[in-house]
């Protein structure tokens, strides 16, 4: 099987949660080929609850650790694309990473390996469900602000 080309084109836009609080949404463009492959059917949401500042965002140190986690996961997925990180939501006291995975077991193995270099215990929770039509991804893409050409 040929290696799947996974876009590295990202966008960020402000949005609001159900209570009107600002949430920054970062999404990945150009995943039609990944969706069409039919392989990535499990949506996994990884959540980190944090003490927000007055704007709902994490403090500097928490934000920096979150970015280290993001980079570790992206690097691991570049080497072994058992999942695709499709979105990151930050605001209102939580950071959510969204992935679509081939299997839950392969995602868990990748996650454990990717985070071995992080020494502190991370306050992460997980939710997983089948989403073969990528409904959450399609909804997230509606937050993107049209690019000026």
- Give residue 89's pLDDT: 97
State the total domains in the chain: 1
- Give residue 86's pLDDT: 98
Domain assignment present for 7: no
Domain assignment present for 134: yes
CATH number reported for the structural domain that contains residue 56 in this entry = 3.30.70
- Give residue 2's pLDDT: 54
How confident is the model over 127-148, as pLDDT tens digits?
Answer: 999 999 999 999 999 888 755 5
Domain assignment present for 9: no
Domain assignment present for 103: yes
Question: How far apart are the C-alpha atoms of 49 and 62, rounded to whole Å?
Answer: 10
Q: Mention every residue, 6+ apart, whose C-beta is less than 8 A from residue 84.
A: 6, 28, 31, 34, 40, 77, 99, 100, 101
**Is-above-0.95 flag for pTM?**
no
Domain assignment present for 13: no
- Give residue 143's pLDDT: 85
Q: Mention every residue, 6+ apart, whose C-beta is less than 8 A from residue 90.
A: 23, 24, 26, 57, 58, 66, 96
How confident is the model over 8-67, as pLDDT tens digits?
Answer: 999 999 999 888 899 999 999 999 999 999 999 999 999 999 999 999 999 999 999 999
Q: Up-side HSE of residue 102: CA atoms within 13 Å toward CB?
A: 12
Judge contact between 71 and 8, C-beta under 8 A: no
Query: Which of the four pLDDT bands, split at 50, 70 and 90, describes residue 1?
Result: very low
Domain that holds residue 63: 19-141
Domain assignment present for 25: yes
Domain assignment present for 6: no
Domain assignment present for 8: no
- Give residue 4's pLDDT: 85
How confident is the model over 83-135, as pLDDT tens digits?
Answer: 999 999 999 999 999 999 999 999 999 999 999 989 889 999 999 999 999 99
């Amino acid at each position: 099987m040929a290696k799947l080309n996974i876009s590295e084109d990202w966008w960020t836009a402000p949005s609001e949660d159900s209570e009107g609080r600002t949430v920054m949404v970062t999404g990945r463009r150009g995943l039609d080929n990944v969706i069409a492959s039919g392989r990535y059917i499990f949506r996994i949401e990884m959540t980190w609850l944090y003490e927000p500042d007055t704007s709902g965002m994490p403090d500097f140190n928490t934000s920096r650790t979150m970015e280290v986690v993001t980079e570790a996961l992206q690097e691991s997925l570049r080497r072994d694309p058992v999942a695709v990180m499709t979105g990151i939501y930050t605001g209102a006291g939580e950071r959510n990473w969204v992935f679509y995975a081939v299997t839950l077991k392969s995602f868990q193995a990748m996650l454990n390996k990717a985070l071995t270099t992080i020494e502190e215990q991370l306050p992460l929770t997980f939710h997983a469900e089948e989403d073969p039509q990528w409904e959450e991804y399609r909804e997230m893409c509606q937050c993107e602000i049209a690019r000026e050409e």
